Amino acid sequence: MPRPDTNVYGRPDTDAYGRLVHDHWQGLPSAEVIERDDGWFGVSTGAPAYFAPFEEWPAHQRRAMRYVRGRVLDVGAGAGRVALHLQARGHEVVAIDSSPLAIATCRRRGVRDARVVPITGVSRRLGELDTIIMLGNNFGLFGGLPRARRLLARFHVLTSPHGRIVAETRDPYRGRNADQRRYHERNRKRGRLPGQIRMRVRSGRACTPWFDYLLVSPREMRAIVSGTGWQIARLIRSAGPMYVAVLEKAEC
């Protein structure tokens, strides 16, 4: 689920994603409404997927777990499904999210090291990392081209010599409809990447601030990572528009 990278999540009235996750964990009804800046609204499938056991994950996400090694940073950990799976496999995992309620849920579910840290707060304080995982469409947390390149360069410094990034996104050009084509053209005219969405999320009475969320094709991702010290080592595709990219350090 898309969510912003912002510390304003510390306010209960803005932590819509955390409210969704926490309510579902408590057995309460939960719904996720997505509002785009052009007036489009949508309702996601909601919280159950954020709690799914490994056996119920999409096949491309299960395959992606083969490329996780060593000490792991789970970016946008949500309800902790990835962190819990990797813990059970024996990995040391640091789970981060900008949502306090999501992190509280992670801890209650058994994630050993869960911290309220936005993607822009990733630093040496988290220790050296072997794998940075961004599953659940979390490549989108980069937000836009400049920030993506800046953070990728930072991640290169913070990871071990054989570090990896395992990141999931959605190809915005596969299966698009007329409404999406209009939005892509609107973005181009504004100097933005076509799949860069300006949006906010509501759940119950909580509503996030407006934020950017980035969807990219494999070709666009290659252009984004070029010159940041990373390269796409492999793509793990689904039957639809979702895919996982395994990024490895480029040879000098």
Q: How far is CA 248 from CA 68, 128, 242, 251, in A?
A: 11, 16, 20, 9
* pLDDT tens series, the chain, 252 aa: 565 555 444 567 899 999 999 999 999 888 899 999 999 999 887 788 899 999 999 999 999 999 999 999 999 999 999 999 999 999 999 999 999 999 999 999 999 999 999 999 999 999 999 999 999 999 999 999 999 999 999 999 999 999 999 999 999 999 889 999 999 999 999 999 999 999 999 998 899 999 999 999 999 999 999 999 999 999 999 999 999 999 999 975
Provide the pLDDT for residue 36.
Answer: 96
Provide the pLDDT for residue 8.
Answer: 44
Provide the pLDDT for residue 248.
Answer: 98
Provide the pLDDT for residue 13.
Answer: 87
Give the residue among 215, 206, 205 at the shortest CA–CA distance from 243: 215
Q: Specify the amino acid at residue 112.
A: R
Q: Specify the amino acid at residue 213.
A: Y
Sorted by where each begins, the domain ranges of the chain are 7-249
Q: Are 231 and 166 in contact (CB under 8 A)?
A: no
CA angle at 16 for the pair 13 and 22, rounded to the nearest 5°: 105
Provide the pLDDT for residue 7.
Answer: 46
Q: Are 44 and 1 in contact (CB under 8 A)?
A: yes
Kind of pairing between the strands at 114-116 and 93-97: parallel
Q: Does domain 7-249 have CATH number 3.40.50.150?
A: yes
Provide the pLDDT for residue 5.
Answer: 57
Q: What helix, strand, coil percent values describe the chain, rounded to 5? A: 35, 25, 35
Predicted TM-score (pTM) of the model is 0.94
